[in-house]
Amino acid sequence: MADSLLLRRPALGRHLGPVAAADARLASRYSNRLRAGYPARPEDLRSCGLIVLHTDTAGLARLLELLRRIGPWRGAHFVLLHAELDSSALDEFRAAGARVCSAAPAPAPSRDLVVVEGDRSALRRATAWLEDAHLRCLELAPGSKPLFLVGAQMPGWLLIPVFDAAFQTLKAAGLSPAEARRMLRFLGDAAVREFAAHGRRGWEDPAAAPRAAVTAAARKALMEASPRLGRFEEAMLAAVAEFYGGTAGQRPEGESRVLRVRLSIP
Amino acid sequence: MADSLLLRRPALGRHLGPVAAADARLASRYSNRLRAGYPARPEDLRSCGLIVLHTDTAGLARLLELLRRIGPWRGAHFVLLHAELDSSALDEFRAAGARVCSAAPAPAPSRDLVVVEGDRSALRRATAWLEDAHLRCLELAPGSKPLFLVGAQMPGWLLIPVFDAAFQTLKAAGLSPAEARRMLRFLGDAAVREFAAHGRRGWEDPAAAPRAAVTAAARKALMEASPRLGRFEEAMLAAVAEFYGGTAGQRPEGESRVLRVRLSIP
């Protein structure tokens, strides 16, 4: 429960009523920990206007079993607080007439952002509750929480290895670790600003004339100095060329082939 | 000459003497433009303690021809100002007893950084001249200017496409362009800071337990929503897995194979 939105935003506790869990002792512990609501039996949740579900992925099956036992849930409203699971985890209650949605913290400088998705009327109640605690809610398109996750995690997966490869290359060129790190910090900041201001138009195509010959020679030098770095850089640039070359409908197939050929090291 | 270090740092003109070019008219124009030195015949360069060469790539052959005509250059010191060419462009004069180096502007917030490489005694004179104009000089390892170029350009080649793919993914998940851009600016800044502080250790491996199943499902969703984005992300992550898995001598081959398998979408 350490990373819970409920703990991070105590204001969310203001409207909590009955707090239920697998047993009375746990319910009491959760309520104490949250400094909100009061311990209650699971059956007491049935009277709530919005039922807030909190579980880790491993505990989901047990939570669903508990809810099944104390149903029916026709007309009830659920919000599942979970970084990855979405409202489809509650499909069986949706099918039985409940309204369900999910909410998850999203990356933002002031940690006040939440992404939500799910059924209209559940979303209405959940966002009113979240916004009352000064959280901003972004609504995702139906069924697209996995897409959101991959988009938000892609920078973490890919940017560090790019910095790392450039770092190793600059060190191989004779820069000290501190100098290479300082230069990459500047180049990274510049790329972030460039993308924020101009989007894809900020991209420098290494295969573009008039620099194609120079960059090809530089990439060849990298491959000779470190085949591992050279292969990484080659594979990454091939993926980029495929990505931008293959903009279906925007560039003719012929042009995309040319782009790929020009990108390969002679 | 518009991007010339000489124009960008007028203080570099303080010690200029004779300014020569292909003909007297050009020499006069350059000297006027630089507001430094005085127009002279190419022969007059022979008396200089450090001969500063400035040319674009296309003009190099003509410059070398001019220098050949007015040699010999035994004991002369040359610095070639060029973003990409290095001192090997002057190898024929080096072989004839001259000392040669090159200098090029390098990325830095205050635009005061120069990378240099070449012969010891030419470097000594060139850096004294550059530092007198408050430029900081970083010396590259011999023959490694191409490596430096590829390291300094890699972020420009690769970061924007990564941001762009994440941007398109977040929009596909329902975020507005402004919201997606704001989130990526935050994530990009975080990755830059993370790398500056912790290097490669800041990397989040998408194949690492306990999140592997969730990220695999999210990547599968991306592939279904947009095969183009999915293929890009898959190719980039495969390159990263190969790069980190193939750290020769640090991880056994078996482990690197496992990493690659775990990264593939089930």
Residues of A in contact with B243 (CB under 8 A): 161, 165, 228, 231-232
Taking only the tens place, the pLDDT of each residue in B112-144 is: 999 999 999 999 999 999 999 999 999 999 999
Q: What is the percentage of chain A residues whose pLDDT exceeds 70?
A: 91
A84: CB partners within 8 A, 6+ apart: A57, A104, A145, A149, B214, B218
Q: Which of B101, B167, B89 is nearest to B128 (CA)?
A: B101
Q: Which of A265, A247, A38, A195 is nearest to B182 (CA)?
A: A195
Q: Which of A148, A143, A126, A147 is nearest to A5 (CA)?
A: A126
Query: Which of B140, B173, B203 lies nearest to residue A151, judging by beta carbons?
Result: B173
Structure tokens at B4: 């010339």
- What pLDDT shows up at residue B258? 30
- C-alpha span between B18 and B29 (Å, rounded): 13
Q: What is the ipTM of this complex?
A: 0.88
- What pLDDT shows up at residue B1? 53
A138:B165 CB<8 A? no
- When pLDDT is averaged across residues B155-174 and rounded to a whole number, the result is 96
Q: Nearest 10 degrees: CA dihedral of B71, B72, B77, B83?
A: 50
**What φ, ψ does residue A165 adopt, rounded to 5°?**
-65, -45
Q: Which of B189, B210, B113 is nearest to B152 (CA)?
A: B113
Q: Looking at the complex, does the CB of residue B209 fall below 8 Å from at least one CB of chain A?
A: no
Name A105's bridge partners: A114
B239:A239 CB<8 A? yes
- C-alpha span between B16 and A206 (Å, rounded): 36
Burial B242-254 (b: 16+ CB within 10 A, else e): bbbbbeeeeeeee
- What pLDDT shows up at residue B254? 33
Within 13 Å, how many C-alpha atoms sit on residue B238's CB side? 14
**Counting one residue from A and one from B, how many pairs have CB atoms under 8 Å apart?**
319
Please determine, for residue A262, whether its predicted confidence score (pLDDT) is greater than 80.
no
B147:A221 CB<8 A? yes
Taking only the tens place, the pLDDT of each residue in B39-93 is: 999 999 999 999 999 998 889 999 999 999 998 999 999 999 999 999 999 999 9
- When pLDDT is averaged across residues B246-260 and rounded to a whole number, the result is 35
Query: Which of A159, A175, A217 lies nearest to residue B191, judging by beta carbons?
Result: A159
DSSP 8-state code for residue B59: G
Residue B129: C-alpha distances to residues A174, B79, B94, B122, B135 (Å): 22, 10, 21, 11, 9
- When pLDDT is averaged across residues A74-95 and rounded to a whole number, the result is 96
A163:B108 CB<8 A? no
Please determine, for residue B246, whether its predicted confidence score (pLDDT) is greater than 90.
no
Taking only the tens place, the pLDDT of each residue in A145-169 is: 999 999 999 999 999 999 999 999 9
| Relative orientation angle of helices A227-245 and A253-263, to the nearest 10 degrees | 170
